[in-house]
Amino acid sequence: MQGDTTASDRPCDPRCFLNSAGGQDEGNTGHGAVDFPVAVVLPAAGCGERMGLTTPKQFCTFLNRPLISYTIESFEKISWIKTIVVVVAKESHELMLHIVKTFRHTKVKVVEGGTSRHRSIFNGLQVLTESTEGSSLPRPKVVIIHDAVRPFVEEDFLLKITLAAKEQGAVGAIRPLVSTVIATTSESYLDHSLERAKYRASEMPQGFLFDIIHQAYQLCSEFDFEFGTECLHLALQYSGTNAKLIEGPPTLWKVTYKRDLAAAESVIKETLSLSACLISGTMAETVELASKVQKNLAAHDMAVDVFSCAKEYKELLLSKTRNFIQITVGGGRLSDIAELIKLLEETNHALLYPVVIIWVHLYMSEEQSHRQKPDELTPIMDLAVKAKQGNILLYGIQVIHSKVPELWEKSAERLSELTAALIRDRNPAFTGQLLQA
């Protein structure tokens, strides 16, 4: 069965995830190797009882998106995957269609599931058999079956699964067991334990030649439909195909409990905070500050590209990150920030992940009277409210230029710390405020 990994099997380093988080082109790792049609079936009709929530876990939202949208994106960004069949409960059909439309998932076909996991998978496979010549759903050579609540599947591993499925007929991901498995007596005493080194946890994704898995489902029993959990076993029992097993990365963990949603959000936030673009302007002081911030943020594992002007490098800006820092002198021109927000909205850059803009107000005098007055913050707050509706988080940080080198260095360090924290946390509660560095 598809075993649930434990907390100790959570990924330690999420930097390999979300290859498209900075806006790169969709994946091409297997573009030459996969010259046959590949489809994905995502069973998502479960109610998520173990989550303890009224909303099924696949529809639980973090960072303004439901979990299932992140999983879909993992497949949709891969150029050689052409079709993603999402199987949902009847009562969730309209919700799923809304998600597809809202987040512009272009490869998805939504179908209604059955009363069990295997019935739902079979419904998904049946849709692919109904394709005709010229249909938008070509009958696949290989089909990948994956859990809708495992959002961090990587393209290189999917390529291994796909090629092995074409060669072997069936293939499944496995992971080492992290705990010893024991059997108990009816009185709750130890009966015996298994030798852990001989066993593995069966995970997702699993890949099959389409004809093999479809035949298995056509022949399987009612008992299998109602109580079975392992697709690989069906392929072996009813199609005579013994699956190749490939050890998968620790990123295959499954969102099962509430804490797993928080873990998934943390993974994505950390990944999104790995890069930023800083727009410095051309004044000597702003260029100097940009250099200090760039150096300091490197200590927070954040790569920062510095540009003098947003307009001149707008295509390059959008290709690199979802975090932007703009330094202006004094109150600066709000129109510059408004133009950046407009650019992000026009390009849908914030559609899938929240974008952060940090507006740095550099004041050239240490006099308190030269700082931004409270009544002057209203336009900034109004713009932040409007931007937040488009999934863009606008923050302000005020920093005072000091002629004393030690104080100036300290202000730059404080600015960098605030910037790193705002980018990492992506907290909407602080938008529109002007923090003091």
Please report whether residue 173 resides in a domain.
yes
CATH of the domain at 121: 3.90.550.10
- Helix orientation angle between 117-129 and 210-219, rounded to the nearest 10 degrees: 130
Band of pLDDT at residue 7, cut at 50, 70 and 90: very low
CA distance 376 to 372: 7
Reported as a single tens digit per residue, the pLDDT across 369-387 is: 455 555 566 788 999 999 9
367 versus 55: the higher-pLDDT residue is 55
Asked which of 246, 268, 290 is the last residue of a domain, the reply is 268
Say yes or no: 307 and 161 in one domain: no
Residue 20: which pLDDT band, with cuts at 50, 70 and 90? very low
Q: In this model, does residue 185 exceed pLDDT 90? A: yes
Are 278 and 259 members of one domain?
no
| Residue 404 and residue 384 in one domain | yes
Are 330 and 251 in the same domain? no
Domain of 326, in residue numbers? 273-436
- Nearest CA to 2 out of 233, 239, 238, 219 is that of 233
22-43 mean pLDDT: 76
pLDDT of residue 27: 54
Supply the pLDDT for residue 52. Answer: 57
Angle, helices 334-346/378-389, rounded to nearest 10 degrees:
0
Q: Do both 90 and 232 map to the same domain?
A: yes
Please report the pLDDT score of residue 380 as a whole number. Answer: 86
Our count of domains for the chain comes to: 2
> 158 versus 49: which is more confidently predicted?
158
Max alpha carbon distance in the chain (Å)?
82
Q: Where are the alpha helices (DSSP H) in 169-283?
A: 210-219, 222-227, 231-239, 258-272
Is residue 378 in some structural domain? yes
283-339 pLDDT, tens per residue? 999 999 999 999 999 999 999 999 988 776 777 778 889 999 999 987 667 888 999
Q: Tell me the pLDDT tens digit for each residue of 164-176.
A: 999 999 999 999 9
109 and 212 in a single domain? The answer is yes
Between residues 374 and 361, which one has the greater pLDDT?
361
Query: Domain holding 402: CATH number?
Result: 3.40.50.360
**Do residues 36 and 116 both lie within one domain?**
yes
∠ at Cα 279 (281, 348), nearest 5°? 140
Domain final position from 223, 242, 268: 268
3-class state of residue 338 by DSSP:
helix
Residues 110 and 182 in one domain: yes
Q: Which of the four pLDDT bands, split at 50, 70 and 90, describes residue 364? A: confident
Q: Has residue 22 been placed in a domain?
A: yes
Residue 416 domain-assigned?
yes
> What confidence tens digit (pLDDT) does each residue in 251-269 have?
999 999 989 999 999 999 9
Q: Answer whether residue 101 is part of any domain.
A: yes
- List beta partners, residue 66: 61
- Name the residue type at position 240: G
Residue 387 lies in a domain: yes
Share of the chain above pLDDT 90, in %: 72
pLDDT number for residue 48: 58
Beta bridge partners of 61: 66
Query: Do residues 245 and 171 touch, judged by C-beta distance below 8 A?
Result: yes
Proportion of the chain above pLDDT 70, given as a percent: 86
Burial class (CB in 10 A: 0-12, 13-18, 19+), 58: buried
Average pLDDT, rounded, for the chain: 88
Which residues, other chains included, contact 41 with Cβ-Cβ below 8 Å and sequence gap of 6+? 85, 87, 121, 124, 125, 128, 143, 144, 145, 146
In a shared domain, residues 45 and 164:
yes
Rounded CA-CA distance 176/190 in Å is 23
Residue 1 falls inside a structural domain? no
